[in-house]
Amino acid sequence: MVEGLIQVFDNFGVILRSTTQVNLFPMLKSYRFFQVDVFTDQPLCGNPLAVFPDAVGLDSGLMQKISAEMNLSETTFVFPATNKEADYDVRIFTPSKEIPFGGHPTLGTAEVLKQLSSSPTPSSYKLNMGVGIVPVYWEDDFCTMTQPEPQFTPPLPTDSSVAEALGLSPDDLHPFLPVQEVSTGFPALMIPLRAMAPVNEVQLNLAVLKKVLDPLDLAYVFCMETEDKACQVHARSFAPFIGIPEDPATGSVAGALGAYLLRHKVFGGDCLSICIEQGVKMGRRSEIRVETSYEGEIIKSVKVGGQSRIVIEGQLTL
């Protein structure tokens, strides 16, 4: 629906009729959407996300096509909750496939739902996703999610293929930390490097990366040297085989990285609280806060948070 005053005049300049609305698509269905920049307090930084807060009527095929049309790393679609313990169902699509969980999709979707809420400003939501119910809560304008318990697989054997997949030398890999798959809902390969320079010099060899990742979708490359001294980790994220050449912020994997760093005692102690800078090389700086801790001998608490800004509101007409 187009808003505005439309007036029709006769040959003498006399108004014949007026209207304030013209429906350009009378037989088509429109879906409201928002674009949110996540893991930043600045517009046009962080990781952009498209959110469709009322996706009733869309099937999987259409959601996949819409996600390709939006051409962002992820697009989310919100439905009424099918689990009585949840507030909403949320489905997440990359440009090429549906995924069970994502960090910036979770926080960005929650931010849109909070802004649209007709009740007093909510302080928390429970979002039902492919990994189950994910709790989200706010402290001021800072939003945090609780991620599933981390799962670890044995480290990969040390060879040159990982470095080759990144277009680097084997000497660029961290000398002590392992290359290892970790998941807090979205499995990824953790690849520690010795310094920030090689992280920023990564040039993917897709044929080799495909073999290294198989069957995973995402490589998370990081080091403990940072551009901003307020952060403790500098990271880049690559998922080219699901339509994401590079991701400005990857909250789901940031939580897994926190669990990895805690298990390997990178910062010492039984708990960890860090800031990860990501997206710097892309010109979309993001800051991801991660807290995790042991409960006995098991890493149980994984919390990932950040700020978000809504920057676009629109309608998709089908």
Q: Which ranges in 22-138 belong to alpha helices (H)?
A: 60-70, 103-116
Q: Catalytic: which of 69, 74, 164, 225?
A: 74
**Can you give the pLDDT at residue 22?**
59
DSSP E strand stretches across 39-81: 47-52, 75-80
153: its two tokens: 């697989």
Give the torsion sign (CA, 120, 121, 124, 125): positive
* pLDDT score recorded for residue 31: 97
CB of 132 within 8 A of CB of 162?
A: no
Please list the rounded mean pLDDT of every run of 10 residues in the chain (318 residues): 55 57 69 98 96 97 98 97 97 96 96 91 94 94 93 91 97 97 97 98 98 96 98 98 95 97 96 98 97 94 96 96
Helix, strand, coil % in the chain, rounded to nearest 5: 20, 40, 40
Alpha-helix runs per DSSP H in the chain: 60-70, 103-116, 161-165, 196-200, 206-213, 251-263
Domains 30-147+308-317 and 151-305 in one fold: yes
Within 10 angstroms of residue 202's Cβ, the number of other Cβ atoms is: 19
What are the extents of the domains in the chain? Answer: 30-147+308-317, 151-305
What CA–CA distance (Å, rounded) separates 27 from 23? Answer: 9
Nearest to 317 by CA among 75, 64, 62, 42: 62
* Domain 30-147+308-317, CATH among 3.10.310.10, 1.10.3720.10, 2.130.10.10, 3.30.1330.10: 3.10.310.10
What angle is formed at CA 223 by the lines to CA 152 and CA 135, rounded to 5 degrees? Answer: 50
Asked if 74 is an active-site residue, the reply is: yes
How far is residue 170's CA from residue 208's CA, in Å, rounded to a whole number?
Answer: 14
Query: Domain 151-305 sits in which CATH superfamily?
Result: Diaminopimelate Epimerase; Chain A, domain 1 (3.10.310.10)
User: pTM here?
Assistant: 0.88
> How many C-beta atoms surround the C-beta of residue 229 within 10 A?
6
